[in-house]
Each structure stands twice: as C-alpha cells, then as structure tokens.
C-alpha cells in the first residue's frame, strides 16, 4: 500500500461537496497524481471525469453516484432524527409534571404521532439505507449501484415525502392517531380533517423509496460483487444489508396495502375496517404489524452488521463463526416475520393461536444470542482498541442486551397482558431501538466518517458524547420500566399527581436532556471535523474490507481498478502479501462496472451505467404531486399514474446514438 498512510490533508472536501467539484479538464486534481492501483495518471484522470458529478446548484438534481445519494440519505435522515428528537424533548417536558400544559392533548397527540412515525420511517430506515447505499457498493468493490438513477429517484421521493410529512406539523395538519394509526380512531368518522390522509399517503410514498433502495441493494450485492467475492467472502455488513433488503421487499407491501385500504376507506367510502359493514378493525392490526414487526428488525439487522465490522477492525481479528453470524442474520430475518401477533395479545385472540407467537417471539433470542457470543468469542483475549466506535459498540452491548431480555419477558402472554401499552414497553423498545440501532449508527458514524470525508472526528468529543448518551439514555428510559409496572399507560398526554408517577417522570425528563446533549456533541463534532479534523488517509483504522482500499473520500469511480478478491479480508491480504489483484480492461470514457455470478462471483459481463440525468428528479416531482393529490381526490391516482408513466418513458427512452459494441 504505497499511499495507505500518506497524509493527504488537501483532499478532504467535506461531506457537502462532491469529489471533483470544479475540476477543469486540463488541470489534474492532486489525488490522481501518479495514478493508482497500477492505472496511469492520464487514464485515472479521464475515469474521474467520466464519473464526476457535475458541480453547480441545478446539476445537484442530476447526480446519480451512490456516494452522493448515500450521503444525502444519511444527512437528511439525521436532520429528521434531530427534529423528531426535539419532539421527544417536547413530550418529556410535558410529562415532567402531572397536569402540565406545555402541550395540550391535541398538540401532544400530533407530536407523539410525528415523533414515532418520523423516527421509524424518516430516520431509522433511511439512515440504514443511506449507510447501505454508501457502503455496500464500496464493500463489494463495485463502481456504483446497479440502478443509479432509481437510487436518485428514491432519494427525492424520500426527501419530498418526509418534508411534506414534517411540514404538516407547523401547519397543524399533522396526523394524531399514533404511528400505528389504528382504525377506527383513524377513520373518517373519528379523525376528520387531513391529518390521517397525510399519514397514509406520505407513508405509502416514502415506502416506495425504501422498496427502490431494497431492490437495487439486492441486485448490487448479488450481481456487482468484485470477482472472487463468493458468498462466503462477503463482509457480514453486506450480508446484513442483503437480509435487510429482502425483509423490506416482503414487509413493506403489507403496510402499503394497509394504508392503501385506509386511504380508500377515507377517500371513497370503502368498508374494509368498518365493523358495521362487514369490515374488521383487526385486519388493520394484522396488516400493520405484519409489516411493523419486521420493521424493527429491518432497522436492527444492518446495525448488527455495523457492530460486526467494528468488532473485527478493532480486535484486528477475523470474526469468529462467519457461518454462524450469517445464520443468525438470516435467522433473525426469518423469525421476524413470525412474531407480529405479539403486538395483539390483548385483542382477545384464541389462546392457542397466541401460544404460537409466544414461542416464536422468544425464539428470536437464539440468533441474537449466537451473534452476541460470536462477538464475545472474537474479542476474547484480543487486544481491543477502545476508540470511540468501539466504545459505542460496548454501549450497544449493554443496552441492546437489556432490551432483548425485556423483549423475552414481553413475549410471555400473561406478562405482556400486564405491561402491554404501558411505559414498560416504551422502555423496552427504546432499549432495543436506541441500543440496537442508534448506538451502532453513531459507532458507524465515527468509524466511517474518515472514509466519507477524509478527516477524523475528534476522539475527545467522541468519548464525551458516548458517555453522555449512555448515561442520559439509561436515566431517561430505565425509570420507564418502573412507571409501566406502576400502571402508567403509553401515549398519555398527562397524568394525575396522586398516581405517584411524578418523580420517575422527572428523572426521565432529566435523562432525555442529557441524552440530547450527548447527541448534540456528536453533531457538533461531525460539523467541526469536516473542516478541522485531522487528515485520515486511506485506511486510518486498518480495516479489512474493500472500502478501505480506495481514497478517503472515495474516488468518483470508487476504485481506480476494481479489486479481485481472495478472502473475506482483502485489504489485510494485500498488506500481508504486498500484492493487489485487479480487474483490467474496463473503459475509462464511460461508466462501466463488472458483473459477476450470484454465488461465486465469477466475472461474466460488464454493465454500462448511466451518467447524470434530471429525469429521476422530474419523475419524483410528478409522483409527489400525484400522492399529494391523493390526500384530496381519488382522481389523482389516475392522473398521477399516466403523468408518472410519461416521465418514466422519457427517463428510459434510448438516446441516440444507440450504442453498438
């Protein structure tokens, strides 16, 4: 690795600016000096121009490179995370005193609904997708995603849908029936106005973005892996992304169907959920939770992949039990589809039917246990580097395991009937989701920030942030277990003083403030480090997977030459053998990436990828208009269908000259 350790401070351009901005055709940017991976300087320069995302504000809407889109996904999702977090603080303020009136019941219900929905649909899934879109192609050694334009389309859909959803709050049009949006409360009879319509249309719309991301991640991982990266050499994170994508593929249609049926109930008076006309309110719950439970694991699974990546790098060991970890991830994916009824233990279903789901819900402990003990076996006796990413991983261990254990408790039907819909459950799922998803995401942020920006984040601030988040989190959420057992139901906008819940609620509010401070430090750290962080070099952590084989930030084309892989830790191999094997013969004057077979990743074709184009943005705009119209009239469906179709044709229409080769 000639330039692995070369300090390269001039290169960090920050997360906001795409690599190659303002690069003139004549003057060579520094990072192509001397070529790379055996590719000459002039060729690399041409390749970089080919893969460049054009500069300028208007051109921003034409970008298709996965690094640009992935970065946008992550930043947008972090913005939504911050906003939804502020809503959480508002709720904690309201609950700090009994009969408080910081928020009235109307505002509280809207804030609660938007907080839950945004955290799930606008933060957690897109953040994981963003990480996957940014990292998975790099990790499998591809030049880009399989469908870069679809990728861009998905981003605009998410951006527009999420923004509209959030804007409903200041306009007082926000949904207020909870993120689970149970009928009949969300029916036209009990929720007039546009709030619920905003929920149903925007959720369906945003799911489109999740589905596009899932399809292209699957295809990218199955077909665009570097030659030699057979399935047993894929990084665990990539396995996790693959399983996540399949889960999205099979879970999201269920919520799309549910919200489409509700949309129809509200818009054209169908009777799916109207008990008086033969409908069934429980149908909504089945459909929603058949999506809703896998959803939790959709968020968790890639986080487990992040944890594995970090454990491997910071112990400098290959992971113990590769097959067992793959099994665990696939197993979690499998079991997650068989648990949804445990959200419905109290709806009066037959006991024997519920007993199936009790067994299945507890079953999730096995794959989770296998994961945790594989990590322990990997760390056992290793010289662990306790840098910030690893500290967040340790925090993840403590919180996630605690949340998992309460999860086993609520799997039990009789116990769940006591704590269901109480603050005990609020505590449980925040332990699982914040512990199992936000901690790994922050760990991943500290771990991959240098790769994405070329600069390190501050260790000192990172440690402070980790400590505060850990303490604040436990202070905020541990007392909620007790509150639930004392009888405090969820989703209450206030409580009476004589219930005796005041002190614990005050503790929780104090904890939430500390938690917010911890997050703010990381946010500030990231913002400051963009400019002031120490230069990172290609591989600051000595990581084993292919993303560390390119520059930081990655080249426009990701890799000057795509790698050929011989093991699961290609970068460590290279360092040991002082040899790197590559793919040659790809053209530099257009966007080409190698296509390989599904199982063994043997090369068999070359895919020519499209360059910058505004059509995905136009399509997304038209589709958004159609979905917005659906809030008001069913005819928007017909109109939007054909309008969107026209933009798709324009998008795919072959441009002359038709390629001949």
Partner 1 sequence: MEHRIEVDAAELSRFAPHDHPLWWGILGAVAIEAAVVANLLTSYFYLAAQAEAWPPDGVDPPALLWPTLVLFVLPLSSLTMWWAGKGSDAGRRRQLALGVTASVGLASLALVFRSIQIAEFDIRWDEHAYGSILWAVTGFHYTHVVSAIVGTAVVAVLAWRGYFTPERQLGVVVDTLYWYFVAGVFLPIYLVLYWAPRLL
Partner 2 sequence: MRVCRLAAVASAFALAGCDGAGGVLAPASPDARLVASLGWWMFASAIFVLIVTLGLVLVGANLHRRGEPRRISFRASVLLVVAGGVAAPLLAIVAVAISGVVIGDEVEGPGGADGPWIEVRGELWWWEFRYLDEDGEVVAVTANELHLPVGRRARLRLVSDNVIHSFWAPNLQGKTDLIPGKVNLLYAEPETPGTWRGQCAEFCGLQHGLMGFVVVAEPPGDFARWLAAQAEPHRVTEPEGLAVFDRIGCAECHTVRGTSADGEDGPDLTHLASRQTLAAATIPNSRGNLGGWITSTHTIKPGAKMPSRIPEPEDLHALLDFLESLE
Partner 3 sequence: MPDIFHLGRDTSPKDGREKVRAAQEGREALTPWLGWVCGPAAWALHQGIGYAMVPWLCDLGTRWPYHLLTVVSTGLCMVGAWAALHALRRSGRVRSERSEGRLRMMALVGLMLCAAALTGIAIEYGASFWLSVCAGIDR
Binding site for partner 3 (CB under 8 A): 230-233, 322-324, 326-327, 330-331, 334-335, 337-338, 341, 348-360, 362-363, 366-367, 597-600, 602, 604
In the numeric block, which tokens belong to residue 142?
Answer: 């591809």
> Is there a contact between 106 and 176 (Cβ–Cβ < 8 Å)?
yes
Of partner 1, partner 2, partner 3, none, which one sits near residue 105, judging by CB under 5 to 8 A according to partner kind? partner 2
Nearest-approach distance from CB 352 to partner 3, in angstroms: 5
Q: Which of 454, 418, 370, 659 is nearest to 14 (CA)?
A: 454
| Bond from prior residue into 282 cis (ω within 30 degrees of 0) | no
Of partner 3, partner 1, partner 2, none, which one sits near residue 286, judging by CB under 5 to 8 A according to partner kind? partner 1
Phi/psi for 454 (5° steps) reads 85, 5
CA 255/CA 492 separation, integer angstroms: 25
Of partner 3, partner 2, partner 1, none, which one sits near residue 583, judging by CB under 5 to 8 A according to partner kind? partner 1
Q: Scan residues 589-618 and list those touching partner 1 (CB under 8 A).
A: 592, 594-595, 603-608
> Binding to partner 2 by residue 633, rule CB under 8 A?
no
β partners of residue 592: 608
Residue closer to partner 3, measured from CB, 369 or 584: 369
Of partner 2, partner 3, partner 1, none, which one sits near residue 253, judging by CB under 5 to 8 A according to partner kind? partner 1
In the numeric block, which tokens belong to residue 141?
Answer: 């050694």
Q: Scan residues 191-220 and list those touching partner 1 (CB under 8 A).
A: 211, 214-216, 218-220
Residue closer to partner 3, measured from CB, 532 or 602: 602
Residue closer to partner 2, measured from CB, 22 or 414: 414
> Is there a contact between 588 and 52 (Cβ–Cβ < 8 Å)?
no
In the numeric block, which tokens belong to residue 577?
Answer: 């053998």
Rule CB under 8 A: choose which of 324, 334, 513, 595 binds partner 2: 324
Q: Rounded to the nearest 5 degrees, what angle is found at the Cα of 69, between the Cα atoms of 65 and 70?
A: 110
> Binding to partner 1 by residue 84, rule CB under 8 A?
no
> Binding to partner 1 by residue 365, rule CB under 8 A?
no
Point out which span in 251-259, 287-295, 343-351, 525-533 binds partner 2 (CB under 8 A): 343-351
Of partner 2, partner 3, partner 1, none, which one sits near residue 167, judging by CB under 5 to 8 A according to partner kind? none
> Is there a contact between 305 and 276 (Cβ–Cβ < 8 Å)?
no
Residue closer to partner 3, measured from CB, 1 or 366: 366
> Binding to partner 1 by residue 230, rule CB under 8 A?
no
Residue closer to partner 2, measured from CB, 375 or 446: 375
Phi/psi for 606 (5° steps) reads -125, 130
> Binding to partner 2 by residue 354, rule CB under 8 A?
yes
Rule CB under 8 A: choose which of 380, 635, 641, 645 binds partner 2: 380
Of partner 3, partner 2, partner 1, none, which one sits near residue 146, judging by CB under 5 to 8 A according to partner kind? partner 1
DSSP SS3 for 603: strand
Q: Scan residues 558-587 and list those touching partner 1 (CB under 8 A).
A: 561, 564, 574, 578-586
Is the four-CA dihedral 183, 188, 190, 192 of positive or negative sign?
positive
Residue closer to partner 1, measured from CB, 93 or 215: 215
DSSP SS3 for 489: strand
In Å, how far from its chain's centre is CA 318?
A: 25
In the numeric block, which tokens belong to residue 387?
Answer: 């840098």
> Binding to partner 1 by residue 375, rule CB under 8 A?
no
Of partner 3, partner 1, partner 2, none, which one sits near residue 326, judging by CB under 5 to 8 A according to partner kind? partner 3
Residue closer to partner 3, measured from CB, 5 or 347: 347
Q: Which of 371, 349, 374, 345 is nearest to 358 (CA)?
A: 345
> Binding to partner 1 by residue 257, rule CB under 8 A?
yes
Q: Scan residues 21-80 and list those touching partner 1 (CB under 8 A).
A: 37-38
In Å, how far from its chain's centre is CA 67?
A: 15
CA 111/CA 88 separation, integer angstroms: 8
Nearest-approach distance from CB 426 to partner 3, in angstroms: 27
Of partner 2, partner 1, partner 3, none, which one sits near residue 249, judging by CB under 5 to 8 A according to partner kind? partner 1
> Is there a contact between 586 and 564 (Cβ–Cβ < 8 Å)?
no
Of partner 2, partner 1, partner 3, none, which one sits near residue 600, judging by CB under 5 to 8 A according to partner kind? partner 3
In the numeric block, which tokens belong to residue 304?
Answer: 């487990």
Nearest-approach distance from CB 223 to partner 3, in angstroms: 9
414: Cβ–Cβ under 8 A, 6 or more apart, which residues? none
Which phi-psi region, left, alpha or beta, contains residue 14 (left: φ > 0; alpha: ψ -120 to 50)?
left
| Bond from prior residue into 553 cis (ω within 30 degrees of 0) | yes
Q: Which of 69, 67, 178, 183 is nearest to 119 (CA)?
A: 178
- Binding string, residues 499-518; x marks residues near partner 2 by CB under 8 A: xx------------------
Rule CB under 8 A: choose which of 50, 163, 270, 418 binds partner 2: 418
Of partner 1, partner 2, partner 3, none, which one sits near residue 232, judging by CB under 5 to 8 A according to partner kind? partner 3
Of partner 2, partner 3, partner 1, none, which one sits near residue 411, judging by CB under 5 to 8 A according to partner kind? partner 2
> Is there a contact between 314 and 370 (Cβ–Cβ < 8 Å)?
no
DSSP SS3 for 606: strand
In the numeric block, which tokens belong to residue 185?
Answer: 């409360």
């Amino acid at each position: 690795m000639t330039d692995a350790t070369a300090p390269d401070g001039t290169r960090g351009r920050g997360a906001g600016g795409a690599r190659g901005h303002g690069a003139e055709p004549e003057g060579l940017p520094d990072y192509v000096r001397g070529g790379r991976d055996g590719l000459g300087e002039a060729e690399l320069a041409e390749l970089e121009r080919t893969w460049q995302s054009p500069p300028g504000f208007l051109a921003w809407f034409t970008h298709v490179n996965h690094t640009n889109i992935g970065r946008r996904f992550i930043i947008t999702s972090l913005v939504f995370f911050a906003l939804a977090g502020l809503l959480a603080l508002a709720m904690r303020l309201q609950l700090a005193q009994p009969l408080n009136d910081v928020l009235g019941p109307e505002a509280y219900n809207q804030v609660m609904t938007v907080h839950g929905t945004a955290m799930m649909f606008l933060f957690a899934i897109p953040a994981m997708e963003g990480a996957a879109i940014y990292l998975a192609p790099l990790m499998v050694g591809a030049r880009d995603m399989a469908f870069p334009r679809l990728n861009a389309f998905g981003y605009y859909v998410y951006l527009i849908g999420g923004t509209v959803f959030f804007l409903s709050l200041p306009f007082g049009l926000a949904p207020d029936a909870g993120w689970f949006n149970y009928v009949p409360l969300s029916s036209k009879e009990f929720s007039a106005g546009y709030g619920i319509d905003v929920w149903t249309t925007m959720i369906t719309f945003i799911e489109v973005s999740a589905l596009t991301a899932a399809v292209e991640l699957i295809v990218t991982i199955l077909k665009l892996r570097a030659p030699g990266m057979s399935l047993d050499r894929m990084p665990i994170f990539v396995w996790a992304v693959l399983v996540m994508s399949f889960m999205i593929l099979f879970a999201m249609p269920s919520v799309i169907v549910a919200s489409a049926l509700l949309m129809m109930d509200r818009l054209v008076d169908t009777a799916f959920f109207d008990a008086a006309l033969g409908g069934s309110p429980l149908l909504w719950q089945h459909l929603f939770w058949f999506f809703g439970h896998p959803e939790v694991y959709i968020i968790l699974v890639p986080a487990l992949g992040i944890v594995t990546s970090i454990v491997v790098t910071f112990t400098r060991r290959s992971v113990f039990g590769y097959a067992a970890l793959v099994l665990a991830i696939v197993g979690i994916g499998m079991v997650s589809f068989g648990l949804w009824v445990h959200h419905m233990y109290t709806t009066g279903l037959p006991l024997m039917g519920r007993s199936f789901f009790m067994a299945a819900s507890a079953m999730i402990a096995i794959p989770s246990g296998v994961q945790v003990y594989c990590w322990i076996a990997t760390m056992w006796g290793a010289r662990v580097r306790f840098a910030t990413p690893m500290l967040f991983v340790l925090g993840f261990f403590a919180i996630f395991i605690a949340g998992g254990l309460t999860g086993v408790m609520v799997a039990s039907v009789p116990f769940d009937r006591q704590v269901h819909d109480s603050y005990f459950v609020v505590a449980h799922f925040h332990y699982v989701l914040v512990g199992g998803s936000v901690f790994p995401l922050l760990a991943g942020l500290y771990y991959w920030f240098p790769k994405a920006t070329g600069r390190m984040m501050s260790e000192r601030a990172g440690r402070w942030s980790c400590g505060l988040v850990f303490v604040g989190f436990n202070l905020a959420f541990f007392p909620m277990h007790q509150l639930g057992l004392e009888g405090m139901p969820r989703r209450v906008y206030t409580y009476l003083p004589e219930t005796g819940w005041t002190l614990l609620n005050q503790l929780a509010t104090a904890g939430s403030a500390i938690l917010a401070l911890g997050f703010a430090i990381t946010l500030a750290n990231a913002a400051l480090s963009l400019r002031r962080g120490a230069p990172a070099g290609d591989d600051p952590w000595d990581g084993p997977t292919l993303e560390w084989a390119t520059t930081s930030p990655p080249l426009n084309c990701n890799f000057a030459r795509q790698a050929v892989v011989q093991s699961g830790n290609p970068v460590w191999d290279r360092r040991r053998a002082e040899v790197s094997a590559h793919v040659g013969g790809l053209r530099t004057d257009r966007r080409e990436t190698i296509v390989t077979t599904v199982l063994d990743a043997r090369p068999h074709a070359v895919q020519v990828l499209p360059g910058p184009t505004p059509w995905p943005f136009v399509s997304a705009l038209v589709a958004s208009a159609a979905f917005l119209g659906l809030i008001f009239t069913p005819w928007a469906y017909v109109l939007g269908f054909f309008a969107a179709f026209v933009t798709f044709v324009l998008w795919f229409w072959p441009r002359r000259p038709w390629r001949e080769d």
